[in-house]
């Protein structure tokens, strides 16, 4: 009888460990998809609905809608580095560093954040940003606002780029950054 009880406990522990490893594997594959510009890899890890929470912003996506977000993000040529993974009960917390053209402009490059991943039926259903340890939000806002205000005055055709999370919006964002930087160079010459 003791042997059967002991085997049951071992099977239970092994099952829990396997679930934790599978969740960590999904998070790793999720970031590998970004690293390799492979949306299909990301899609295989996410649920039919994905919610992303960043501060006060809550964004809900279908896998197809998240593809648009992926394309928006890819315009800024991000480089994701998974620093750490921790299993916390039913969640996985990932520490990730991202370098990108956008973060460079906002003078917060790289950006290192911790994200909590939630799962439904074994797939990622929600990602919430817990904190970004090295971000300077005041500087970020100052740079963003300066760019937005300059665009309104000098390139009104791009106005609204900051809230346009489509690929076209990201391209407009990059154009705005490029023209803004050129303006600064021309002023100092």
pLDDT greater than 80 at residue 168: yes
pTM (2 d.p.): 0.81
Q: What is the DSSP letter of 164?
A: -
d(CA 52, CA 115): 10
What is the 3 state secondary structure string of 72-140?
Answer: HHHCCCCEEEEEEEEEECCEEEEEEEEECHHHHHCCCCCEEEEEEEEEECCEEEEEEEEEECCCCHHHH
Domain ranges of the chain: 19-135, 136-189
Residue 1 pLDDT: 52
Residue pLDDT, tens place only, 62-76? 999 999 999 999 999
Task: State the fold for domain 19-135.
Answer: Nuclear Transport Factor 2; Chain: A, (3.10.450)
Q: Which residue has the higher pLDDT, 121 or 188?
A: 121
Residue pLDDT, tens place only, 19-65? 546 799 999 999 999 988 999 999 999 999 999 999 899 999 999 99
> Please, what sign has the CA dihedral across residues 163, 168, 172, 173?
positive
């Amino acid at each position: 009888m003791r042997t059967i009880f002991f085997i049951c406990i071992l099977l239970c522990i092994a099952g829990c460990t396997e679930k934790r490893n599978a969740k960590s594997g999904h998070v790793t594959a999720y970031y590998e998809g970004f690293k390799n510009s492979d949306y299909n890899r990301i899609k295989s890890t996410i649920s039919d609905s994905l919610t992303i929470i960043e501060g006060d912003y809550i964004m809900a996506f279908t896998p197809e809608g998240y593809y648009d977000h992926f394309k928006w993000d890819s315009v800024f040529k991000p480089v994701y580095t998974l620093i750490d993974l921790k299993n916390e009960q039913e969640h996985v917390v990932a520490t990730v560093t991202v370098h990108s053209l956008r973060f460079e402009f906002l003078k917060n490059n790289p950006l290192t954040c911790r994200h909590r991943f939630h799962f439904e039926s074994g797939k990622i259903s929600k990602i919430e940003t817990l904190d970004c340890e090295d971000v300077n939000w005041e500087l970020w806002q100052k740079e963003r606002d300066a760019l937005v205000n300059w665009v309104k005055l000098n390139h009104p055709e791009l106005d609204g780029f900051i809230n346009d999370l489509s690929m076209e919006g990201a391209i407009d964002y990059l154009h705005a950054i490029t023209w803004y930087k050129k303006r600064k160079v021309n002023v100092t010459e």
